Structure 1
Amino acid sequence: MTTILSIQSSVAYGHVGNSAAVFPLQRLGVEVWPVHTVHFSNHTGYGAWRGPLLPADDVREVITGIEEREAMPAIDAVLSGYQGGEEIGDVILDAVARVKAANPSAIYACDPVMGNAKSGCFVHPAIPVLLRERVVPQADLITPNQFELGFLTETEPESLEDTLASVELARAMGPSTVLVTSVLRPDRPEGTIEMLAVDGDSAWIVQTPQLPMKANGSGDVTAALFTAHLLDTGDAGVALGRTVSSVFDLLQRTLDSGARELQLVQSQQEIAEPRMQFEVQQLR
C-alpha cells in the first residue's frame, strides 16, 4: 500500500490543502498521514476566516512524533502545497530529508503555489525565492500551473514550445518529473485548456473543455491525484490521463451544482474510477 505524508493547510469548511487532498487519496486506497500547517474555518478566498496558523515548531513536533513511531521507512512520498512562510519551508525540507534517509526510494512531490495568470502572484515575495532556490531543487516532482512555471524559471511561457522549454529549465533545477496545469497556449482551440506532463525523455498533453469557473482547491486535488497515480503506475502519461479525467468530472459536477466549494465527496466514484474520456497525446 502506498503511504503519503501530506504537509499542507487544513480547513473545516470546504476543500483546500489537506482538506482537498486527503479524501481523494484515501478513495484511491492510499494511506495518508496529514500534517496541518494551519487549521482555518475556511479558505482565505472568502476574505474572512478564523483559526490558527500553526507555529513551525509545532508542525515539526508532529513530524518528529511520527518519526518516533519508527514510521518513516513506510512513507513513499512527501506531498506539500502552499507554503505560508520560510520557516514552514524549512520544516518541510527537513521532513523530506528524514523520510529519504529512512526510505531512499521515497519521493518529494511539491506543488509550488504562488499564484495564477488571472490573479498574479499572491504569496509573500520571499516565497518564490524560497521555492526557486531551496525547495524545488529538493523535489522529485513539481506540479506548477503555467504561470507558476514561468515564475519559477523566470520565463514567460505561452506557446507549447515555450512551455516545454521552461519545463526543461525547471527540471535542470532538480525535479525529474513536471506536471504543468492550466496550460493556455494562444493557438489552442477556443474554449479549451490543457495539462502537460514531462518525465524522462517523454512528454504528454491532454486537452479538455475550459469550464467557466474558479475552483479553490482544484490544484491541491490535482497534485495529490497525480502523485498517487505516478507512484502506482510509474507512468506519467497514464497518471496524467487518470488525473485529468477525475479532476474534470469533479469540476463539472461542482459547476453544475452551483456551489462555491468543490463537490469532492459527491465525485468520489469518478475519483476512484476515472472515466478516461480525454485522449492523452504523446508529444515525444
Structure 2
Amino acid sequence: MNLLSIQSHVAYGHVGNASAVFPLQRLGVEVWPIHTVQFSNHTGYGAWRGQVFEAGVISDVLEGIAERGALPRCDGVLSGYMGSADIGAAILDAVARVRAANPKADYCCDPVIGDVGRGIFVRPGIPEFMREQAVPAAEVITPNQFELELLSGHTVTDQADAVAACAALHAAGPRVILVTSLHTRETPKDAIDLLASGPDGRFLVRTPRLDVALNGAGDAIAALFFFHVKRTGSTAAALEAAASSIFGLLERTEKAHSRELLLVEAQDEFVKPSKVFTPVAV
C-alpha cells in the first residue's frame, strides 16, 4: 500500500507526519510524506524554531512525485492540521490529482479544529473550510468529540446523539467516521470511548482512561485507522486494531512518564497490540 501524508513535521518528538509516518511504515506501508511545516518541536513546549511552508511547496513536491509516474500507485491521501485555508486548498488539489490518476484512492481527513476545554485553536476560516470543503471531499474522517459537534451541528450528550451526529456527517460525504475521544453520560469516569461509523454499522470501543494528554496521539490513530479501513474494508476491524494499538502506545508512554509518544519503543503495539479491545455494535 502507498499513502501520501500531507501534514506538519517536527524534528524532535512526534506530531503530524512525525507521528503518522512511522506506524504506517512499521505496518508495511510505503509512505510519501509532504511536510506543511518543519519545526524543531511541537508548539506545546511554548518555544520552537523552524518554518511554515507556503501552499505552493505542496503542489511543487506533488508535481515531482507525479513526474516519477507514481500517482497511479497512490492508494490514499492523509491530512491533518492545516495552518491556513491556502494549505487546505493545496491538499484538496493533491487529492484531486491522486484520484484522477487512481480513481480507487481514498482521502482521510483528520479535521483538526479544536478540543473540549480548549475550544477552537486553529486560524480563522479553517473551521468553515473543514465543514464546507475538506470533510465533504473525504471518504474517511477522524474528528474528536468537539469537532464532531462543531462539524455536525449536534450537541453530543449520549451515544444516540453521537450516532445522530455521525449520520449528519455521513450525509455530507464521508463514508467512514472515527470519533477519537467520546465522553457521554454512558461513559464511566475511568474510561474513554471511541466510536466508529461506517456502511457496515456503528461500533464502540471502551478503553481505560490513562493519565496522559499527549500531542500527536490523534495523528497516530488517524493514520492507523485509515490504514486498517483500507486493509480490511471493515469499520469494526479497523476500530479494534487502531484503538488497541493506540492504547498500547499511550500506556507504554504513560509508564515511562514521557512527554513525547514512545513510537519507536512501542512499535510492536502497531503490529500486535498487547491488549485487544473488541468493539460492540451500537
Match of 1:196 in 2: 195
Q: Does 1:31 align with 2:23?
A: no
3-state SS of paired residue (1:23): helix
1:6, 1:32 within 8 Å by CA — same for their partners in 2? yes
Q: Which amino acid aligns with 1:233?
A: T
Give the secondary structure class of the aligned counterpart of 2:188: coil
Question: Which residue of 1 is the match for residue 107 of structure 2?
Answer: 108
Query: Which amino acid in 1 is paired with 2:115?
Result: N
Give matches, 1:163-242, under 5 Å.
Answer: 163-242=162-241
- TM-score computed with the length of structure 1 as normaliser: 0.97
In 2, Cα distance between equivalents of 1:189 and 1:141? 28
AA in 1 matched with 2:271 = A
Q: Is the 8 A contact 1:242 1:276 kept in 2?
A: no
Letter in 2 for 1:164: V
**Is residue 265 of structure 1 aligned with residue 229 of structure 2?**
no
1:1-284 alignment runs, 5 A limit? 2-283=1-282
* Distance of 2:182 and 2:18 partners within structure 1: 25
Structure 1 residue 133: Cα displacement: 0.6
How far, CA to CA, are the matches of 1:71 and 1:45 in structure 2? 36
Residue by residue over 1:63-95, the C-alpha shift from the partner in whole angstroms, topping out at 9 and shown as x without a partner, is 111111111110111000000101101110000
Compute the displacement of 1:276 (Å).
4.7
Distance 1:276 1:71 in 2: 37
**Alpha-carbon distance in 2 for matches of 1:134, 1:212:** 35
Alpha-carbon contact 2:248-2:275 (below 8 Å) kept: no
Gaps of 5+ in 2: none
2:158·2:184 contact (CA, 8 Å) conserved in 1?
Answer: yes
SS in 2 for 1:131: helix
Query: Could you tell me the TM-score, scaled by structure 2's length?
Result: 0.98
CA distance in 1, matches of 2:61, 2:121: 28
SS at match of 1:181: strand
Task: Please say if residues 200 and 234 of structure 2, whose CA atoms lie closer than 8 Å, have aligned partners that are also in contact.
Answer: no
RMSD: 0.9
1:164 Cα shift?
Answer: 0.5
Displacement, 1:186?
1.8
Between the aligned partners of 1:187 and 1:135, the Cα distance in structure 2 is 31
Shift >3 Å, 4+ stretches: none
Q: CA deviation at 1:201?
A: 4.5
Question: Kindly, what percent of the aligned residue pairs are identical?
Answer: 51
Corresponding letter in the other structure for 1:236:
T
Worse-matched range after superposition: 15-24 or 55-64: 55-64
- Give the letter aligned to residue 157 of structure 1: V
Cα deviation, residue 60, structure 1: 1.1
Q: Any idea what SS the aligned residue of 1:132 has?
A: helix
Which whole-Å deviations, capped at 9, do the CAs of 1:225-261 have from their partners, x for residues lacking one?
0011111111110010010111001001111111100
C-alpha distance in 1 between matches for 2:35 and 2:15? 12
1:29-52, CA deviations, whole angstroms, 9 ceiling, x for partnerless residues?
011000000000000111111001
Alpha-carbon contact 2:200-2:235 (below 8 Å) kept: no
Separation of aligned partners in 2, 1:28 and 1:15: 17
Q: Determine helix, strand or coil for the equivalent of 2:69.
A: coil
Number of residue equivalences: 282
Specify every segment of 5 or more residues in structure 1 that has no aligned partner in the other structure, as ranges: none
